[in-house]
Structure 1
């Protein structure tokens, strides 16, 4: 209830994960036993399904109440959580650092990698449009087997030659004038 947990990498703190798993499991038990109660009339199966349904109800009630209390930000360690979940995602930095340290660190990381670009990446487009000679093509294909950066670029650009083939040259397009 304090909101103080060991460092974790997830979007949810460990308590949220446990509560979410419990809720899903108990909802499945409630729904399954409820459907069974509708389909089965009398007998030992009905009694068994009724017990499962009753106990799932008993167990899910405090889990849901706890979820609502924490989501409302009532415990001291969770102040500001309701604002993050329901009012545009704004949250005091101290609360985010305490509840979701791994997620916060990932948000602070630069989006671009620090790796220098591969000098062969400019050859990807040339390969796709057929502009490389036989020797250059062989060298690049050999390089491609060892370079994940160029392979990723190739996968990303692979659809472009087909799209370019379908494009209408500007001189054949009617001019649009307002």
Structure 2
């Protein structure tokens, strides 16, 4: 294996395994920072309200998507995931912008749980649309090369 191939393989692994998960911490941190800057009440209890709102939204989405925790969550092919992740600026920006709007227009103590809930609800919803857009683009282009097919097969084998 050449250095370039090893480097490419090394970069692909964290992107494949962490790409989608990377956007959520960026969104939740950005949301908390926006809230902290605008609401100006950074007490311990406020951060707890934020965390409870975030956890409630995440739990609700998980329950809905998994049909009451009975249906396993499926993975997308890595080429779809890669294209979807490249669109993550949309989900991150939307979640952080909504955090600012909530902080600005709701304000006060109530803004903390609502902002946590909003970021944790909006980011996965928008991030869920990104792979759907990527899958549609992949299907419409129908230009998957032999190398992409081989890489997809290797990725599936290494994941399984």
The TM-score with structure 2 as length reference comes to 0.27
- Structure number with bigger Rg: 1
Name the structure where helix makes up a greater proportion of residues.
Answer: 2
